[in-house]
Structure 1
Amino acid sequence: MEYTVVINGKPEGPYNLEQLKGMGLRPEMFVRKPGMDDYKEAHEIAELRELFGFKHQKTAPQYFASFDQRLLASVIDYFALLVIYVIVVLFIYVFVSEKMFRIGTALGLLLLVPVAKTIYSIFAEASEKQATLGKRLLNIKVTDAVGDRISIGLSIARNMGKILSTLPVFVGYLLCFTNKKQQCLHDSLAGTLVVKDRLL
Structure 2
Amino acid sequence: MYLLVVNGKPEGPYSINELKAMQIKAADFVKTAEMDDYKEAHEIAQLRTIFGFQFQAVAPQYFGAFDQRALAAIIDWLIVIGSLSIVTLIGLLATSDATVRTILLFILAIIIIPAHLAYSIAMEGSARQATFGKKILKIQVCNMDGSPINMAKAAGRNLAKIFSVLTFFVGYLICFFNKKQQCLHDMIAGTLVTRERLI
Q: What TM bracket, shorter-length normalisation?
A: 0.7 to 0.9
Following superposition of structure 1 onto structure 2, how do residues 74-113 of structure 1 map, counting pairs within 5 Å? 74-113=73-112
Q: Do the aligned partners of 2:92 and 2:104 also contact (CA within 8 Å) in 1?
A: no
**Number of aligned pairs?**
180
Residue 181 of structure 1 aligns to which amino acid in structure 2? K
Question: Among the aligned pairs, what percent are the same residue?
Answer: 39
Q: Do the aligned partners of 1:145 and 1:193 also contact (CA within 8 Å) in 2?
A: yes
Aligned with residue 60 of structure 1, among 57, 62, 74: 57
Alpha carbons of 1:107 and 1:9: their partners in 2 closer, same or farther (altered >3 Å)?
farther
Extract unaligned runs of 5+ from structure 1.
14-19
Following superposition of structure 1 onto structure 2, how do residues 1-200 of structure 1 map, counting pairs within 5 Å? 7-12=5-10, 24=15, 29-31=29-31, 39-41=38-40, 58-61=55-58, 62=60, 63-199=62-198
SS in 1 for 2:153: helix
C-alpha root-mean-square deviation of aligned residues, in Å?
Answer: 3.1
State the TM-score, normalized to the length of structure 1: 0.76
Measure, in 1, the Cα distance between the counterparts of 2:38 and 2:97: 57
SS in 2 for 1:166: helix
Post-superposition shift, 1:149? 0.4
Alpha carbons of 1:110 and 1:167: their partners in 2 closer, same or farther (altered >3 Å)?
same
Alpha carbons of 1:99 and 1:196: their partners in 2 closer, same or farther (altered >3 Å)?
same
Q: Which aligned segments of 4 or more residues in structure 1 are displaced greater than 6 angstroms?
A: 53-57
Extract unaligned runs of 5+ from structure 2.
20-25
Measure, in 2, the Cα distance between the counterparts of 1:118 and 1:30: 40
Alpha carbons of 1:39 and 1:126: their partners in 2 closer, same or farther (altered >3 Å)?
farther
Residue 60 of structure 1 aligns to which amino acid in structure 2? A
Alpha carbons of 1:197 and 1:32: their partners in 2 closer, same or farther (altered >3 Å)?
farther
Measure, in 1, the Cα distance between the counterparts of 2:129 and 2:72: 13
Q: Do the aligned partners of 1:32 and 1:40 also contact (CA within 8 Å) in 2?
A: no
Alpha carbons of 1:68 and 1:150: their partners in 2 closer, same or farther (altered >3 Å)?
same
Measure, in 2, the Cα distance between the counterparts of 1:178 and 1:129: 28
Post-superposition shift, 1:159? 0.8
Q: Do the aligned partners of 2:43 and 2:56 also contact (CA within 8 Å) in 1?
A: no
Residue 7 of structure 2 aligns to which amino acid in structure 1? G
